[in-house]
Each structure stands twice: as structure tokens, then as C-alpha cells.
Chain A
Amino acid sequence: MEVACLRQGLLRYTWRKLSARINFSNVTSQPAFVTAKQERSKVPQHPVSPSINEDLPPKTEVDLQLVQRLEKLSLVDFVNKEGLTRLEAAISMADQLCVVNTEGVEPMITVLEDRSLPLAEDEVHSGDLSEELLACAQETLEDYFVVPPGNITYSEEKGYYRELDQGEEDI
């Protein structure tokens, strides 16, 4: 039975990597075990605390109407109460953005905004792939993907709806 025995030249790799970056003729200390020169180092030795935002908007309550609206838009469900708590936590975190002063700042949609990106010509290059693509689907008929009728809305009662409706519970 073969023992899972690895020879990891880890420190050797570490040094090869560092030496790819640093000319070693200048280095006299044993870098992995040298003591830090805290007094004159440029690295801050104490944590820099992020500024605290005082005027946050009030906490958003997730009510039944919102839950049903989001589930309809997303066509996924919250699953359980944790899902609702998760959303509330996400909104709370996002609220911290609202206090940042962005007056006069344009939204940045892409980091490549400063250049003209190439657009492809409207030409078919890949040929007829219908057979391969249809093979990926579970329900097909001849050259068609099959779906049930599209004009019937779907809604389903969930356990957490009742809890929200009652207004109580520590959601």
C-alpha cells in the first residue's frame, strides 16, 4: 500500500520566488527569520480603523409584499426564514454606501471606459451547430426546445409567508 508521501520543496520554492523579485547580492539577513525593524518601518504597526458612518438610513423591513415581488422577479424562492434574514443583512451592509459623498462623480460601468473596444462583424463563423446544441437540452422535439405554456403565472404558498403576514416573529 503506497503511503501518500510528498516531497514539498516549499521553502526552496519560496526562495526561488523571492529571488525572482529581489537581487540577493544586496541582502545579508536570513529573510524568513529576521526580526522586523518596527521603529522605522513604513508598514503601519497598528490597525487603521475605518471611519464610522453615523447617519445610516433606517433598517429596511422585509415584508410579505416585497418577498412575493422579489420571488416573482427572480423565479427563485427565499427557502426559509434565514433567506429573509440574509436579505436584510445584505440591505444593511449596502446602506453603508449611501453615506459616501458621490456628488459630481460619474458611475463607473467598466474599467475599460477609456478605450474603444472592438465589435465583431455580424457574421456566422461557427456553421450549423443545431444538433450539438439541441443535444444539450433535456426536452426537445425535432428542431425545437420544448417549454410549457408561457402565459400562466405561477405562485406558491410558502411557510414564511404566513409568518410575515402575521407581522410578528423575529424575522
Chain B
Amino acid sequence: DMGMNYLSLSIRDVSSLLKQKTISSLELCNAALKRQNAVAKLHPFITHTPDLARESALHSQKRYDRGEQNLPLDGIPVAVKDNFCTSGIPTTCGSVMLQNYIPTYSATVVRRLQKAGAVIVGKTNLDEFGMGSGTTDSTFGPSKNIYRSGVEYNFLHPSREYDNILSRIPSTALENGDWYVTGGSSGGSALAVASGTTFLALGSDTGGSVRNPSSYCGVVGLKPSYGLVSRFGLISLVNSLDVPGLFGRYVDDVATMLSVVSGLDPQDSTSVSSDLQNLKLPENPSLDGLIIGIPREYHWPGMSKEIVDEWTKVADLMEDSGAQVREVSMPHTQYSIICYSVLNPCEVASNFTRYTGVGYGHRVSASHSMEAMYAFTRSSGLNEVVKGRILAGNYFLLRENKSKYFKQALKVRRLISEDFSKVWASGVNLLLTPVTLSTAIRYSEFQNLDNRTQTATQDICTQAANMAGVPAVSIPVSLNTEGLPVSLQLIGQWGKDPA
């Protein structure tokens, strides 16, 4: 089935084929939908939208037939994390609270993707309300990493000299029905891209929720600078840290997506204007003159050796290729996850007061008292992780605690942000760090830890970039001996996303 092979191409290549009419938008859409069925047991999607997808694909096809070729993502299947509002399509946030919620509007980023011709094929799975780092805490069941899942796949390389090495990389299913987690909270989106059901996916990153699953699933995951991409329609978790994130298999594809979704949005007062609409990455990038910083504190105790090895190899490679590589220090890194553990619940406690059952969503009747109705609704609609954060947040915000916890966390946030400012001021252009402490974790191990401990360990390398609002991208660099992807992270100055 030729359609399936097209799903592995870059957007540039598949767009050429669409323009040349080698393949039609509808054929591409159907191939993507077929792929969805093939990997259904991994559960990347909460809601499939095949009818809407085919309708969009038909419109796209008509545009190509008329010779209109100016939309950058015309006919390209994309997936949207289920915490972005999509008009007429259920938007659940993986929670009972919004299980029956059908928004009357679409998020700005969704509208921009659609205007660029993208074909939305479904809403992807996530940890409930974005709280988690495994995509195992969704009301609708967990998502499973495609690597070593029992789904068959092959490794290809353009050069045949690697065939011998490739054949030795394990790809068989794990024993006892165990599986690897996708990472989270945007695990469904990472999986959708990694399994070839879409070329691009939207996710959201508050503490690492895009880069963490990108690392485990072996795809490119970008968290843009805070403010660059509109949050209008992204169901709020932590307003001062949330950023819509982008997934793709190719860096160029993600750059194209960024050019489509970024830009000032009058409906989001925290969005800023930018001129990335015509973003084109250089054809022959060079590292000459680039100064790469290696923050020593990112080598955490307990980090797996293979991650440190890859970090070292790539740093050395960059040095050999013309960049200047130097060690730097970011002394407040260790406080980032603690700071997050205060700021996140505080903003959540505030944001989640909106879930009352009155205007939308889940509702449990209690005829005698409004307060009782709210309490019943919220208690039954939200899972324990969410409730735990609301309660903790309200604790930190109590009058006697506010200064000690919330205000203090805001001050430490500034110190973390200043760590970055000092590094940029010293001449460093980009930081190279690991993304996670290890490659994807087995579910059998993952489920033994509670959600709080999981996020505290897994978000350690990703969280600081959210505190400072700087752009960060997770890039797969290798496969380990278990056949799992190993990724590294590049962090840049605010606003310098193209770098």
C-alpha cells in the first residue's frame, strides 16, 4: 500500500508530491486514517475525526486541482492535543469534568493550522488536564510508546552500510505485556507523530510536557518562547508557564508549523508580535562562531550513562564542527522543580475554580445547596492528581502562607531566570542539555511511583526553561541498546526560536 510510505516523508517532500498530483490530499488523508487503525491499541487519540478530516482533505484537493499552491500545510494531516478547544469536536482534557464538553470556538493555533490547509484527524490523549509526565493518568486510559510495543516496524537508513548495525537494534515487544510509557503530558501527540498517523501535532508545555514525550518517542518537540504562540483556546493550566508546543519528525517541519501558528493574537493578552511568518531554516546551517554552553548542573545524580554519553558525543561533535563549547554554571537549577511545585498548584487552584458544572461540563445534582453541587461535581469530575494540586495550591495561598511559599517561589523564579540571563550575557548562544534522566520508562516501574514523584524526577531538565520563558527543543539523536530513542535539548534566548 503506497499510501503508507508517504506518511514517513517530510512535509516538503510530501507537499511536492501533492503539488505534482502524484498523490491526492484525500489519498494522503485516508492513509493517515488507516495508520490510525493500525496503531489504535497504543491509544494516541481520544477522539478520531475521520469525517471532518476527509472534508478538509477534499477542500485541499480542490485547491490543488485549481492550481492554488500557496498554503504551507495544505493537505497535511495533523493532530491536536485534547486540551485545545476545537469547535464542534469534544475537548475533554482527558477528564470526566469535560467529557461531554463541545466547545463553540476553536483555539487560535487550531484556526491558524486550518487556514494553512492542515487536515485535523483527531484529538490526542494526555494526562488529565496536563498534569503528569507519562500520559498514564487520563480518564480514557494510557497511551503506549510505539517502541517495543509489539507493533512491527523497521529501521531504514539511506546508506546501506548501516544495515548490519540496524538489524541488531531490538524492536520486539517486551515480555509479560509490559510496555514503555510515551512520557507526558502530551504523550498522545508525540505518539501520533512517532507512529506516522500525522506529520505534525500540537501539544502544550508547562513543565516539559512536550519535550518529555518527544524524548521518549523519538520525535522533535519544540517549546517556543513564552508569548510567541497564542494561548487563546488552550485550556489553562498555569497561565504564566503554559506554552503551545509543536511536534514533528523533522526540524524543518516544526519550523514550518511555527511560522504558521506564531504571531500576535489580540485575543491573548500575553501574546507578542513576531516576524516568523516566513521562517525558512538555512539550507546549509553552519556552527561557525556559535557558542554552546553546557550547564554543569544538568548532570543530575541518577542520570543514565547512555544519556551522558550522547550528550558528550554531540557536544564534542559540535566542537569539531566549528562551534565553541564551554561549560557554564546555572546554580539555581536545582530549585526549578521545587519552585514549580508551588507555582503550579497555586495557579491551578485559581484556574480550576471555573469547574462548577454550571456553564458546561460535568454536573452532579444537589438540589439543596449550590456549594454542595459544586463540591459533588468537582469531587467526582476531577481525579486525585488534580484535586491534590488544588488543595496544595490553596494551602500555599493561605494568608499566613502566601509570603512564605507563593511569594518566595516567585522570587526564586526570578533567580532561575537570571541564571539564563547571565549565561546569555557571557556570550553563549545556545545551551545543550539532556531532556530526561533516562530513556523511556517501563510502565511496570512507572506505575509504582506516584504522579508527584514522577513529575519531580522527569521534569528536572525541562522545567527551568518554562520558568524563564525561553525556547527549548528536544531532538532525537540516537537509539540505545534497548532500541529506545535518546534525545537532547537545545535551549535558546527568549525570542530567538529560529536559532
Contact across chains for A109 and B153 when beta carbons are under 8 A apart:
no
Q: How far is the CA of A16 from the CA of B220 in the complex (A)?
A: 12
- Whether B63 is near chain A, meaning CB under 8 Å from some CB there, is no
Min Cβ gap B413→A in Å is: 5
Contact across chains for A152 and B410 when beta carbons are under 8 A apart:
no
- Whether A159 is near chain B, meaning CB under 8 Å from some CB there, is no
- Whether B424 is near chain A, meaning CB under 8 Å from some CB there, is no
Min Cβ gap A63→B in Å is: 12
Which of B113-121, B135-143, B156-164 makes up part of the contact surface? B156-164
- Whether B294 is near chain A, meaning CB under 8 Å from some CB there, is yes
Q: How far is the CA of A58 from the CA of B358 in the complex (A)?
A: 41
Q: How far is the CA of A17 from the CA of B468 in the complex (A)?
A: 26
Given that A20-B281, A90-B345, A153-B369 are contacting pairs, would A11 and B101 also be in contact in the complex, using a CB cutoff of 8 Å?
no
Contact across chains for B478 and A77 when beta carbons are under 8 A apart:
no
Determine which residue in B368, B391, B395 has the highest number of CB atoms from chain A within 10 A of its CB, and name it.
Answer: B391
Contact across chains for B452 and A86 when beta carbons are under 8 A apart:
yes
Within 8 A of B (CB), among A111-127: 111-112, 115, 117-120
User: Of the candidates A11, A45, A96, A152, which one forms a contact with B155 in the assembled complex, judged by CB atoms under 8 Å apart?
Assistant: A11
Given that A34-B313, A102-B411, A102-B415 are contacting pairs, would A149 and B369 also be in contact in the complex, using a CB cutoff of 8 Å?
yes
Contact across chains for A2 and B415 when beta carbons are under 8 A apart:
no
User: Of the candidates B157, B220, B320, B387, which one forms a contact with A79 in the assembled complex, judged by CB atoms under 8 Å apart?
Assistant: B387
Given that A23-B285, A76-B378, A120-B269 are contacting pairs, would A111 and B162 also be in contact in the complex, using a CB cutoff of 8 Å?
no
For B303, what are the chain A residues with a Cβ–Cβ distance below 8 Å? 47
Given that A16-B250, A97-B412 are contacting pairs, would A112 and B339 also be in contact in the complex, using a CB cutoff of 8 Å?
no
Contact across chains for A8 and B153 when beta carbons are under 8 A apart:
yes
Number of interface residues of A (CB under 8 A): 97
Q: How far is the CA of A10 from the CA of B158 in the complex (A)?
A: 11
For B412, what are the chain A residues with a Cβ–Cβ distance below 8 Å? 97, 100, 102
Determine which residue in B5, B311, B317, B332 has the highest number of CB atoms from chain A within 10 A of its CB, and name it.
Answer: B317
Q: How far is the CA of A138 from the CA of B390 in the complex (A)?
A: 24
Contact across chains for B308 and A111 when beta carbons are under 8 A apart:
no
For A38, what are the chain B residues with a Cβ–Cβ distance below 8 Å? 312
Min Cβ gap B208→A in Å is: 16
CB closest chain-A residue, reference B388:
A86
Within 8 A of A (CB), among B67-104: 101-102, 104
CB closest chain-B residue, reference A146:
B358
Q: How far is the CA of A101 from the CA of B104 in the complex (A)?
A: 48
- Whether A59 is near chain B, meaning CB under 8 Å from some CB there, is no
Which of B44-52, B401-409, B439-447 makes up part of the contact surface? B401-409
Q: How far is the CA of A31 from the CA of B338 in the complex (A)?
A: 36
User: Of the candidates B156, B360, B469, which one forms a contact with A112 in the assembled complex, judged by CB atoms under 8 Å apart?
Assistant: B469
Q: How far is the CA of A89 from the CA of B431 in the complex (A)?
A: 32
- Whether B276 is near chain A, meaning CB under 8 Å from some CB there, is no
Contact across chains for A75 and B251 when beta carbons are under 8 A apart:
no
Q: How far is the CA of A96 from the CA of B341 in the complex (A)?
A: 11
For B297, what are the chain A residues with a Cβ–Cβ distance below 8 Å? 48, 50
Given that A16-B250, A47-B299, A47-B300 are contacting pairs, would A118 and B156 also be in contact in the complex, using a CB cutoff of 8 Å?
no
Contact across chains for B321 and A23 when beta carbons are under 8 A apart:
yes
Contact across chains for B411 and A48 when beta carbons are under 8 A apart:
no
Q: How far is the CA of A97 from the CA of B335 in the complex (A)?
A: 7
Number of interface residues of B (CB under 8 A): 131
Contact across chains for B162 and A36 when beta carbons are under 8 A apart:
no
Min Cβ gap B385→A in Å is: 9
For A11, what are the chain B residues with a Cβ–Cβ distance below 8 Å? 155-157, 162, 166, 479
- Whether A160 is near chain B, meaning CB under 8 Å from some CB there, is no
Contact across chains for A110 and B270 when beta carbons are under 8 A apart:
yes
Q: How far is the CA of A17 from the CA of B151 in the complex (A)?
A: 24
For A13, what are the chain B residues with a Cβ–Cβ distance below 8 Å? 249-250, 476
Instruction: Render A65-105 as a binary contact track against B, CB cut-off 8 A, 1 for contact.
Output: 01001110111111100110011011101101110101001
CB closest chain-B residue, reference A131:
B104
For B101, what are the chain A residues with a Cβ–Cβ distance below 8 Å? 136
For A152, what are the chain B residues with a Cβ–Cβ distance below 8 Å? 368-372
Contact across chains for B299 and A12 when beta carbons are under 8 A apart:
no
Taking A75-B375, A82-B384 as known contacts, 13 extra A-B pairs with beta carbons closer than 8 A to each other, sorted by chain A number, are A3-B152, A10-B153, A42-B325, A45-B312, A83-B387, A97-B342, A100-B335, A102-B415, A108-B413, A109-B410, A136-B359, A148-B366, A152-B372
Residues of A within 8 A of B (CB): 2-18, 20-23, 26-27, 29, 31-34, 36-38, 41-51, 66, 69-71, 73-79, 82-83, 86-87, 89-91, 93-94, 96-98, 100, 102, 105-112, 115, 117-120, 129, 132-133, 135-139, 145, 147-150, 152-154, 156
Residues of B within 8 A of A (CB): 4-5, 8, 10, 35, 38-39, 101-102, 104, 146, 151-158, 162, 165-166, 195-196, 218, 220, 226-227, 240, 249-252, 264, 266-267, 269-270, 272, 281, 284-287, 294, 296-297, 299-303, 308-309, 311-322, 325-327, 332-335, 338-339, 341-342, 345, 349, 357-360, 363, 366-375, 378-379, 382, 384, 387-388, 390-392, 394-396, 398, 404-405, 407-415, 417, 450, 452, 456, 468-469, 475-479, 485, 494
